[in-house]
Amino acid sequence: MAVADRSVMTGRPEVLFPLFAQITVLDGIGPKTAHLLEAAGQNAPRDLLMTLPQSGIDRSVRATVQGAELPGVVTVEVTIGQHRPPRTKGGAYRVTVMDASTAFQIVFFHARGDYVQKLLPTGEKRVVSGRVELFDGMPQMVHPDHVLAEDRMEELPTFEPIYPLTGGVTQKVMSRAVRDALSRAPQLDEWIDPAQKAKAAWPSWQAALQEAHAPDAVSDLGPAAPARERLAYDEFLAHQLTLALARAQRRRAPGVKSEGNGRLRARVLAGLPYRPTDAQSRAIDEITADMAISQRMNRLLQGDVGAGKTLVAFMALLTAVEAGGQGVLMAPTSILALQHLESLQPLAEQAGVVLDILTGRDKGAERAAKLQALVRGNIQILVGTHAVFQDDVQFRDLRLAIVDEQHRFGVRQRLKLGEKGIAADVLVMTATPIPRSLALAQYGDMDVSVLDEKPPGRKPVKTALVSSERLDEVVAHLRDAVSKGRQAYWVCPLVEESEVMDLAAAEERFKHLRSVFDETQIGLVHGQMPHSDRDATMARFVLGEIKVLVATTVIEVGVNVPNASIMVIERAEHFGLAQLHQLRGRVGRGDQASTCLLVYQAPLGDAGTQRLRTLRETEDGFRISEVDLEMRGAGDVIGTAQSGVPRFRIADLEHQSALMAIAQSDARRLLADDPNLTSPRGQAARTLLWLMRQDEAIRLISVG
């Protein structure tokens, strides 16, 4: 990529300077107010422009307060009558006024008489606007919001925008500052694709700002209002341009072609007792095509619980081996790594490839032997934990790195893993269904394969809601099932987000169940246990020695115990939808009918009812994730702290998800046509990146 032009190398384009000035340049913003605004992240005029009104007040003028819906805001022209100063200090100062039909009072507290006389001179006409309430049958307007002479009426908007406020900043101050900021907004060249802009009937950027800050009605405040929609699209486009630039840069890094001959994969497929689903076949084809080109693959494999990600991953690993290289599959815990080893071993034997495992438990001579085998290429596929990050772990020819359960690994760890091989392809797997809009926001730099079908033979899990008053029946049901050789999980409630209290609840339940069952049949796992103890307990559960596993929410995603067919979730109303769905996914993995009992404490609130009913009615993780998004918002669904999802000022991921998809395809198309962003539209897009503070993107252009 050519060196970028001087404006990018030296800084922000001059046309944007007024928007990035000190916030104190704005009308009415002194040092004290500036300090309050800056504490809320409003550091420049640009930030006020992107703080849109959250509601509005109808200030249209009425003839009279009679017939108005009270209490409520009324705007009316009045003739000012008698002033009645307060009889006692701090009492009410009352002014009688007359509109077209009736008299009413305007009331002030702690007001100076000369101020009120000047504001409302007896005998003159004024337009007053404020909240009117009935007091002893008489309408009263206490401290009017606006008092205007007839010749200044046009200053009062028919529909007054109301801004979200920072503590200590008034609506009046905010409105003045925004008006000044709007006067500084320049005309900017258009960065939106002309066809898209025409199709959506969007105004220009400057006009959209003016309209969004001067709504005419409540409908202008919604996400579908053209001005707001356009400004939201600008945010999405800047975000997707940043991701597309990161993607383009990664693709420019040297890669290795890993083109397999299909021989090993054919052996495995021939030995399967079922045919892969269409979704699995499609994902395998997409990954194989990515690996066959010299650009580095950076793909997300997203599948619901039990959708068959492991087979897809193994096919990708075999492609790497067929091409003469090695592959690595990483899991977040040693117990999950062991489970991957167990499930993949029979497939590896069918294919005739050498599969091994490396975890923190490997020590001394055994570890040294594995490391030598890796360097020589004798181990073709390695399963491991983060232990494979250690500097002494070297591969002969690592072609593919697969990361399972991405949200448990940081981006830095992903990159470090890729560095293990010369330009190794990277495949990230997640069993947490994410709504499409969030996937685009979080993983927009990656290509995405989705497994949205279940392999044949997986039985649905019957989900039932049970009141906690019927806990004895649940225990009796469990005893009956255990006597027939079945196993169960019992997940204890989240207690005020406190691990100590969660643990107390789990220990209490563990003691209770031990008094009912043979105590050797009950196990307990929780986050405070040493890893070795937890792994030992889980291993006994996997072997069937423990029949009922009592746990806090540390039950690892992906733990596979086919004989476990009952999941009890106590105080289920305290859990998020996605978490409940993941926990339910621990059962229904064998050939027995499985049950998930959601034990709740009555009475259930509306949100709790909606969550538990949704879970009872569907097993579709993607549908569940959409409901979760509607109920909780983007940050909560994937945990803001580790989500990687940006905080948008105007755009609303829940209600404008379709715009994100358009922005992604537009950003990728623009960069494909104009990789250096040097065309007129490309230059405008650079301005957009500066406007949206996407410094990282600008750096990618600069160093490209």
**What are 223's two structure tokens?**
């996400």
- Residue pair 335/463 in contact by the 8 Å Cβ criterion: no
H or E stretch including 280? Answer: helix 278-291
Cα of 541 vs its chain's centroid, Å? 34
Q: How far apart are CA 110 and CA 342, in angstroms?
A: 79
Q: Which residues does residue 462 pair with via DSSP β-bridges, in sequence order?
A: 595
Q: Are 373 and 356 in contact (CB under 8 A)?
A: yes
Beta bridge partners, 613, equal none
Percent of residues, the chain, with pLDDT higher than 90: 52
Query: Which residues sit opposite 595 in a β-bridge?
Result: 462, 566
270-274, 463-467, 700-704: range with lowest mean pLDDT: 700-704
CATH T-level topology, domain 60-156: OB fold (Dihydrolipoamide Acetyltransferase, E2P) (2.40.50)
End-to-end CA distance of the chain: 5
Distance CA 704, CA 251 (A): 12
Is-contact 278 450, C-beta < 8 A? no
Task: Tell me if the pTM is above 0.85.
Answer: no
Shortest CA distance to 624 belongs to which of 650, 596, 664, 661? 596
625: confidence class by pLDDT, cuts 50, 70, 90: confident
Q: Is the model more confident about 177 or about 247? A: 177
Separation CA 441–CA 145 (nearest Å): 42
Q: How confident is the model at residue 460 (pLDDT cuts 50, 70, 90)?
A: confident
Whether the Cβ atoms of residue 46 and residue 19 lie closer than 8 Å to each other: yes
Q: Which range, of 190-194, 468-472, 556-560, 636-640, averages the lowest pLDDT?
A: 636-640
Which two three-digit tokens encode residue 68? 């108005």
Which two structure tokens, joined as six digits, stand for 494? 């989240």
**CB count in 10 Å sphere of residue 14:** 9
Fold of 263-451: Rossmann fold (3.40.50)
pLDDT at position 8:
39
Tokens 């104009």, residue located: 674
Strands 487-491 and 548-551: parallel
pLDDT digits (tens, 9 = 90+) for 642-698: 344 567 889 988 788 889 889 999 999 999 999 989 999 999 999 999 999 887 677
User: Tokens representing 680?
Assistant: 């007129």
- Tell me: pLDDT of 168 over 70: yes
**Per the structure block, which two tokens stand in for 54?**
């959250």
**What's the rounded Cα separation, in Å, for the pair 567 and 587?**
7
How far apart (Å, rounded) are the C-alpha atoms in residues 179 and 588?
Answer: 60
Q: For the segment 65-89, what is each residue's pLDDT rounded down to a tens digit?
A: 998 999 999 999 999 999 999 988 8
Helix spans in 486-576 (H): 499-516, 531-543
User: Within a 10 A sphere around the Cβ of 194, how many other Cβ atoms?
Assistant: 9
Whole-number mean pLDDT of the chain?
86
- Asked whether the beta carbons of 322 and 262 are under 8 A apart, the reply is yes
Does the pLDDT of residue 3 top 50, yes or no?
A: no
Model confidence band, residue 380 (pLDDT cutoffs 50, 70, 90): very high
Residue ranges of domains in the chain: 60-156, 263-451, 461-618
Proportion of the chain above pLDDT 70, given as a percent: 90
Question: What does DSSP say about strands 564-570 and 487-491: parallel, antiparallel, or unpaired?
Answer: parallel
CA distance 307 to 453: 6
Q: Tell me how crowded residue 31 is: count the other CB atoms within 10 A of its CB.
A: 7
What does the angle CA 403 – CA 408 – CA 414 come to, to the nearest 5 degrees? Answer: 45
Q: Which of 406, 382, 275 has its CA nearest to residue 321?
A: 382
Helix (H) or strand (E) holding 128: strand 125-135
Residue found under tokens 């979200």: 164
- Span of 217-231, 335-349, 520-534, 640-654 with lowest mean pLDDT: 640-654
Residues counted in the chain:
704
Q: For residue 363, what is the DSSP state? A: -
Asked if residue 332 has a cis previous peptide bond (ω within 30° of 0), the answer is: no
Distance separating alpha carbons of residues 286 and 556, to the nearest angstrom: 29
Residue matched to tokens 């709790």: 608
Q: Are strands 594-600 and 159-162 parallel, antiparallel or unpaired?
A: unpaired
Residue 61 has pLDDT above 60, yes or no: yes
Q: Which residues of 421-454 are buried (b: 16+ CB within 10 A; e: fewer)?
A: bebbbbbbbbbbbbbbbbbbbbbbbbebbbbbbb
What confidence tier does 500 reach under pLDDT thresholds 50, 70, 90? Answer: low
Report the CATH superfamily, name and number, of domain 461-618: P-loop containing nucleotide triphosphate hydrolases (3.40.50.300)
Q: What's CA 48's distance to the chain center, in Å?
A: 24
Q: What angle do CA 35, 176, 15 make, to 5 degrees?
A: 80
Q: In 3D, which of 655, 678, 676, 686 has the Cα closest to residue 249?
A: 676
Q: Are 263-451 and 461-618 in the same CATH fold?
A: yes
284 in Cβ contact with 296 (< 8 Å): no
**What is the mean predicted confidence (pLDDT) over 246-268?**
86
Q: What pLDDT is recorded for position 704?
A: 41
Q: Per-residue confidence at 414, pLDDT binned at 50, 70, 90?
A: low
- Dihedral over Cα of 678, 679, 683, 689: its sign: negative
What's the distance, CA 380 to chain centroid? Answer: 37
Q: How far apart are CA 459 and CA 593, in angstroms?
A: 7
* pLDDT score recorded for residue 265: 96
